[in-house]
Chain A
């Protein structure tokens, strides 16, 4: 066969190789309906993964078969028949075939390795998560080993035949060099396979370390590592992904539960700014984890007495949060049973000692404010000393020492009584407020805290003062994670301040602000309610954009009650009850009339637009109420017939987005 013939054979081989590669690497067909993108990716990745094997086998077979075929044909052409053949000629062709097949196998093995390496980056880009098992690292190792062994054997055999053919004997130096070359070739090939395998394992070790370390870059432990082989490393990656998914789901469940616990805990805390008779109480609490162990509460006992509590449960997380909830519930029930602050502490201590079993403890401070007497009685169970700031004076720490709750069921506590005058402030805090640390590890400390308190101006709203101090603390801590922090500030109001909050304001058990007004059934009497209501809602829902809507809706309900319910008889009063929660505002307007059915009113006459044609076009009150509230209804209880208006904070957020 001539050189041209060989060139044609090589060209055909080259075309076959390229054609096959193109066919295997072409874009995936239009996926069948129901085939997910992930499945399509996995199929394509599998195709890329098997391509090096296919090329190796295909190329080896083609080169060997074409070499054998070509040399056999040459032998047949050179000799007339089988009887005419000479051993030398056969050995000569065998030598050539061995050389060509050996070369073909060498190229196949090198291509196999290079393709594995090149295609790896494309497989990684596809990020397949399943490639099916069944493979083993032994497969590539055997292929590489057998390939290199065969190459070495074929070439060395060719070397021996050639030497024998020439009749010069084996050149031992050349033989040794050839042997060394193929030995090194084999080492390199096997090392490349081993290095790839090691790299896959290293990637997985990194991922497992991330999992252990709790790193979450793309979500709650849902990052997966791509499966890029069908061997043990691939199976390990799949098993790891399954584990990671399972842990991720469990983590998500845990997060949901913690969120629920957080919401419950937040509901237990009082609203930020509370007016309780002649005193105003502002509280702020933040836990660094989803749930915390700090507690604070405000309970209005009667018209003149209000109780406040602050505490800190040892430990963190869910156990501390559970104890915190139990402590708040106990405080709410025990404070209503009466007694001084110290007596209430003793009762709570006895009950909690049993429950805690010495495994946890709670520091708790309880203050009882009597606005009629102008006194505050405070007792502490191992809680951080509070500060008393007489109007215009420097803060004084109210000392008191006793064991926290949970140590000794027979523990005794001492009451401290303070006289409160208008403008006086009483500040309760948890240790997180002073144990804040900056990046150098320095404590915020009592000194800084006290100087902040000393700088508080009289007459400035408590919310503003606390917010200012918290901002400074945030700047000090530079975003570092800190302990749970809680602060409660009580201020006796000046006579002007008390007049401004003339509404009868109480706190419900759930910590909601309840205000009540009794106004005459006369035109214009709703204005006083609207003014005070506007102030209270503004303080409790400062971000609201629906205040005017609320005021208009309440005004219409009051006007209806005055005109139709009480028939403008000023001796018959209208009761307005406003309840401000964290997510809902409810307003009830009572009258002494026969009432009406909200459902019937909504159905029949609400949107009667013909009213504008009437001589005195009235009756839009209910229509406005319906348009301005999220929901309204009517009812009757011991106070009479009422119209009840509901305003949701959730609905408000959706309005704001629009």
Chain B
């Protein structure tokens, strides 16, 4: 049964959280990339974009291209992109297309939040912290 793409935006002090649902494919482009001018940065100057993919039941190469474009916009918009709730199969596909170069994948929301907190702490101590926000292997 087809489940059209939908999304819900949440905010925390440091991050914008996107709860994505349904099928992430070409038709999702308008809603995902059109909902905000991502290259201008996140709302309120937040530094992290967190994608919740737990409710995404299908991703194809077009959907992965959308995720890359969203994550790549972070370079000009000055934000880091995180994702959680990605099945092992899609993690494998993300690695194959190089998406993991742009987006850090965590198993759950709490793990992402802890990573963001650590990043903020490092920044407040004057550490740039830009280069080391990757998940621990």
Interface, chain A (partner B; CB < 8 A): 523-524, 526-527, 530-531, 548-549, 552, 555-556, 559, 609, 612, 616-618, 620-621, 623-624, 627
Contacts and interface: CB of A to CB of B under 8 A. Distances in A.
Nearest to A552: B93
Contacts of B98: 609, 612
B10 interface: no
Contacts of A620: 61, 64-65, 96-97
Contacts of B23: 524, 527
A275 B54 CA distance: 34
28 contacts: A523-B25, A523-B27, A523-B62, A524-B25, A527-B23, A548-B87, A552-B60, A555-B58, A555-B60, A556-B61, A559-B61, A559-B62, A609-B98, A612-B68, A612-B72, A612-B97, A612-B98, A612-B101, A617-B68, A618-B62, A620-B61, A620-B64, A620-B96, A623-B96, A623-B97, A624-B61, A624-B93, A624-B97
Given A623-B96, A623-B97, A624-B97, A616 B65 contact: yes
Contacts of A618: 61-62, 65
A567 to B, nearest CB: 14
Contacts of B60: 526, 552, 555-556, 559
Nearest to A625: B61
Contacts of B101: 612
A555 B59 CA distance: 10
Contacts of B26: 523
B134 interface: no
A527 B58 contact: yes
Nearest to B89: A548
Nearest to A618: B65
Nearest to A525: B2
A552 B96 CA distance: 13
B89 A527 contact: no
A620 B66 CA distance: 12
B69 interface: yes
Nearest to B102: A612
Given A612-B72, A616-B69, A624-B96, A524 B61 contact: no
Contacts of B99: 612
A618 B60 CA distance: 11
Interface in B46-93: 58, 60-62, 64-65, 68-69, 72, 87, 89, 93
A549 B101 CA distance: 22
Contact of A524 (B27, B65, B69, B102): B27
B72 A552 contact: no
Query: How big is chain B's contact interface, by range?
Result: 20 to 34
Contacts of B1: 531
* Chain B CB within 10 A, most for which of A524, A526, A530, A609: A524
Contact of B96 (A523, A555, A616, A627): A627
Nearest to A613: B72
Chain B interface main SS type: helix
Contacts of A621: 61
Nearest to A560: B61
A549 B87 CA distance: 12
Interface string B18-41: 000001011100000000000000
Contacts of A530: 58
A555 B64 CA distance: 13
A527 B96 contact: no
Interface in B93-137: 93, 96-99, 101-102
Instruction: Give the interface centre of B1, B2, B96, B99 by most chain A CB atoms within 10 Å.
Output: B96
A202 to B, nearest CB: 63
A609 B1 CA distance: 33
Contacts of B93: 552, 624
A261 to B, nearest CB: 40
Nearest to A610: B98
Contacts of B61: 556, 559, 618, 620-621, 624
A549 B89 contact: yes
Contacts of A556: 60-61
Given A527-B2, A548-B89, A612-B102, 17 more contacts: A524-B2, A524-B23, A527-B23, A527-B58, A531-B1, A552-B89, A555-B58, A555-B60, A609-B98, A612-B72, A612-B97, A612-B99, A616-B65, A618-B61, A618-B65, A620-B64, A620-B65
A624 B25 CA distance: 15
Nearest to B58: A527
A527 B69 CA distance: 24
Contacts of B65: 616-618, 620
A524 B89 CA distance: 20
A617 B96 contact: no
Which of A523, A526, A531 has the most chain B CB within a 10 Å cutoff? Answer: A523
A621 B25 CA distance: 13
Which 3 residue pairs spanning A and B have beta carbons closest together? A548-B89, A620-B61, A523-B26
A531 B96 CA distance: 24
B2 to A, nearest CB: 6
Nearest to B101: A612
A154 B68 CA distance: 108
Nearest to B87: A548
A620 B68 CA distance: 12
A530 B89 CA distance: 15
Nearest to B60: A555
Nearest to A627: B96
Contacts of A612: 68, 72, 97-99, 101-102
Nearest to A562: B26
B11 to A, nearest CB: 28
